[in-house]
Chains A and B, each alone.
Chain A
């Protein structure tokens, strides 16, 4: 035990001193909170920052299919106005933007693709350029891009940090399937000065998607469900996601769309209640799903239905890959329609 002298003991402090301490602490708390609040307030409003004068904002991306090019700048998913190009040093930080850039821009205008491009199902398309993780800001700055395309997905502080570093950043926003992909195509086309090509590309993509199962009457369409199996957990992807779009354009009826939206997690009971003819899942999902005793009686696991497995990189692609995925699913789901 320490001596009192060493501990700095002193006779009991008097009442006024104690009161002073209490008031001092209270004042300090109030001061700290006030200063923090002031810091928060003073840093707020932020007029949309752009490298060039702000212009007229175009309609939100998800509704921007009939995109009018009468403005000087385009509003991104965070409401920041980004001026039209020409951009000559573009970096894609978005798996969604990679194929669009490749389609619309001259190769020399693209500095790098997203970090995930090398893991994409069509990775060989991006092999000629480096890939960069936009979270490595210093790597990104070293490339000196004049436009960075990202899907920030709620990382507001990070996006702002990129802008604070002097980069022109266009946030493509959510990746929710065909509509958001088409919106991204048009936005990138507009920004890079290739709007006509973008319209053509988007239109072609949409036409091909719609052509996959156009001839199938509604009554002939089979019921289906996307299920991702991760350990003992069963995750879905329905209304408002690319998985739902893949099923729909493949000519299937997404049975989860009536009761769910987004990326729900299912318990086995829900799956048995939904009991679709077809389950679309990632490679290896069939065994993980149908070998579970409680799920073995699912139509899809028996001879009455089927489980369609797709490469997870393709299945998870909320961009150009949706077309290939829809075509593959359609071919497996309706084998009678295969060309001889």
Chain B
């Protein structure tokens, strides 16, 4: 009796085979290792100088760590909000927590002038005021957001509230900046913060951000399965046991924590949370349990490479990181959009 050959298993669209996935993860990890090596090797200083080698490597490793953390945080936050809203155009900034962190950072910069002139916070290192301000700003924005969701728990309301809060905080940022215009030194510092710059991040800022990024990423990943179920729609997810209010609350919280850490490290570094998930989705599929770790690796790689570009770009002064991520991110995003113009973006 003739036995028909088994029909090849056809994977649903968007799904990736296990072997291919493993290979892609390995390649991504390899790319990250390469980026890290490049970040340590490339710079304006000469590593062959035995007197300077240790110091140069220490400085570069600080920048490397800060870039890794900021990139991973923003990319993971991007995947989380895109999954929550089931909208590929969502970025961590839609919740308003980025704007809150940015406002907190600016207020901290103004407070820093006061602290320096009066010496009122002797127990706190001055360079920590800015990252702490960013974290507190993001948490305050988060508090407002959670307050609104308690009144009305709905995705559209959440999205609109985030948008309104972003606008409100941006206006307040503008107000704070306008106050600072009368003080040239301060407005210069505010401008530097707005441009996004990781070059000043030292061990204290990294120590502050590391727990937030690590715990935020891991706990964000624990929500991967409910987010995967959300891909089929809210009703389907609810029928499969997903508690939507709990999911929304915790995704919002972890996104806020991650963006707070990223802003605390490097100010406003744009496009990472939007572009990196888009770059990775064709390679790793839309399932969050795979996409989230890939985003952590990919986001870190992207920002580390952008930071290397900042350092080696010719010029009298260093180009801010936010400028480079924007210059690379926007065309890349456009290219990705054109590549996939015929495909549905409904995950």
Contacts and interface: CB of A to CB of B under 8 A. Distances in A.
B58 A40 contact: no
Contacts of A241: 184
Interface stretch (B198-206, B296-304, B331-339): B198-206
Contacts of A32: 211-212, 215-216, 257
Interface string B224-243: 01001101100000001101
Given A2-B15, A2-B231, A44 B128 contact: yes
Most buried by B among A3, A11, A141: A141
Interface in A153-197: 153-161, 164-166, 174-175
Contacts of A264: 181-182
B182 A261 contact: yes
B318 A135 contact: yes
Interface size bracket, B side: 35 or more
B240 A9 contact: yes
Interface in A1-31: 1-4, 6-13, 18, 21-22, 24-25, 28-29, 31
24 contacts: A2-B12, A2-B15, A6-B15, A7-B231, A7-B232, A31-B215, A32-B216, A36-B212, A40-B132, A41-B124, A78-B116, A137-B199, A138-B56, A142-B52, A154-B188, A155-B192, A157-B204, A160-B202, A161-B62, A161-B200, A235-B181, A262-B183, A263-B181, A265-B181
B112 interface: yes
A4 B287 CA distance: 12
Closest 10 CB pairs between A and B?
A12-B241, A138-B45, A35-B211, A39-B207, A157-B127, A157-B200, A153-B185, A262-B182, A32-B215, A154-B189
Nearest to A15: B243
Contact of A11 (B49, B125, B241): B241
Interface in B26-44: 43-44
B19 interface: no
Contacts of B181: 235, 263-265
Given A25-B250, A44-B125, A155-B200, A137 B208 contact: no
B253 interface: yes
B200 A158 contact: yes
A138 B59 contact: yes
A174 B186 CA distance: 10
A36 B211 contact: yes
Of listed A1, A31, A36, A133, residue having the most chain B CB within 10 A: A36
B77 interface: no
A254 to B, nearest CB: 15
A130 interface: no
A115 B125 contact: no
Contacts of B119: 79
A144 interface: yes
Contacts of A133: 316-318
Contacts of A35: 210-211, 215
A6 B12 contact: yes
Contacts of B216: 32
Given A157-B205, A263-B182, 10 more contacts: A9-B240, A40-B207, A79-B116, A136-B317, A136-B318, A139-B45, A144-B52, A156-B116, A156-B126, A264-B181
Contact of A141 (B56, B124, B129, B186): B56
A244 B22 CA distance: 67
B211 A39 contact: yes
Grouping DSSP codes into helix (H, G, I), strand (E, B) and loop, the B interface class, with mixed when no group exceeds half, is: helix
B107 interface: no
A161 B55 contact: no
B127 A156 contact: yes
A22 B250 CA distance: 8
A70 interface: no
Contacts of B51: 144
A293 interface: no
Contact of A29 (B15, B52, B241, B257): B257
B253 A153 contact: no
Interface string A100-125: 00000000000000010000000000
Given A31-B211, A43-B125, A7 B229 contact: yes
Interface in B264-288: 287
A170 B183 CA distance: 22
Question: Which of B135, B200, B209 has the most chain A CB atoms closer than 10 A to its own CB?
Answer: B200
Interface in B68-104: none
A119 to B, nearest CB: 9
Contacts of B205: 157
Contact of B125 (A31, A46, A77, A142): A46
A160 B127 contact: yes
A164 B225 contact: no
Given A153-B188, A155-B189, A43 B212 contact: no
